[in-house]
Amino acid sequence: MADYVYGPGRTHLFVPGPVNIPDQVLRAMNRQNEDYRSPAIPAMTKILLEDVKKIFKTTTGTIFMIPTTGTGAWESALTNTLSPGDRIVSFLIGQFSLLWIDQQQRLGFNVDVVESEWGRGADLDVLEAKLRDDTAHTIKAIAIVHNETATGVTNDLTKVRKLLDTYRHPALLLVDGVSSICALDFRMDEWGVDVALTGSQKALSLPTGMGIVCAGPRAIEASKTATSRRVFFDWKDYLRTYNLGTYWPYTPSIQLLYGLRAALDLIFEEGLDNIIKRHNRLGTATRLAVQAWGLKNCTQKEEWFSDTVTAVVVPPYIDSNEIVKQAWKRYNLSLGLGLNKISGKVFRIGHLGNLNELQLLGCLSGVEMVLKDVGYPVKLGSGVGAAAAYLSNFTPFIPSRI
């Protein structure tokens, strides 16, 4: 491959997913295929289904672990709960919310799009007006991306739930938590989320290939009457195998199941609340570095800052695509591109998953060198110093070791 450049040492992966895979997870997946109809796989699956509920903070949800990506999990959430022509209020705030809206439209739903400037969160004032006016309850679902990785924006789901409750509106709340669940605070039961979903390659720190959907009781009930066509993503097939005790309507990835077991063990050892705090520290440190470089965050208000990705706006005379290209070619450092309408204007630093302080500081050091390479007058050490000064105030979690 002509563009491939070998670089000694480790690849430094700092995109907002896929993320670095812990060695313990790699070792757990390094195994032969097994017969998923043997007693071992259903026994493991049963426990996994209960343990996965913990990362959604739910006791009432039903888990579906589907061999797919987040895009497939999107489709599963929509087609199992809604019928063609149903009205969905959906928020367009960046590339991934745009893609979900495109899917909703192509599946035949009546999508009421609420668009915000990229870098801003969902416009909840518009949502309030729509809920207030919808006395006939024509809105069947609210679809929202919790954490938009294209722009580094996190939406406040508690405000969405409060609006639904204020107007006593029965619309289902469907949440894309692909880059938030198991990294940001997420409380499915407390916030009244009806369907939430995530992908294995994000905060779970697994390879791509498993879309995880959590359906609350109202969503399960809605699936009994929803008329959207579905086959591969049909919850009914899963529920049937759950009742039979076999758990899989088709062949799962055995290696991913063992990887998920190891990933959950690491998560529970660190503690989910500690993981959320760690992501906040790393996110804050990255934002301090960006400020020290004299650059701006794409996210326009502090209330929307994401703790899993920071989108950095570059000066007009610099092409952010060149930053990403040079980082990879010269330093073996993978950064996120600016997508769609912010292509060339923004690069993204992912600080998501099984990641520690020293890894982040290494990334920030690499970014500084790349900025210097492309002609930006950065003071080397400024961002790293600001981040390190902040991080040194905290004691990171270290598991007990012999």
Give residue 62's region: left, alpha or beta (phi > 0; psi -120 to 50): beta
Determine contact, residues 307/282, Cβ cutoff 8 Å: yes
Distance CA 283, CA 305 (A): 8
Closest to 353 measured CA to CA, from 141, 139, 179? 179
3-state secondary structure of 391: helix
Q: Is position 278 annotated in a ligand binding site?
A: no
Determine contact, residues 119/151, Cβ cutoff 8 Å: yes
The DSSP string of 274-301 is HHHHHHHHHHHHHHHHHHHTT-EESS-S
Burial 288-310 (b: 16+ CB within 10 A, else e): bbbebbebbbbbbeeebbbbbbb
**What's the distance, CA 308 to chain centroid?**
8
Numbered residues of the known binding site for substrate: 348
Numbered residues of the known binding site: 348
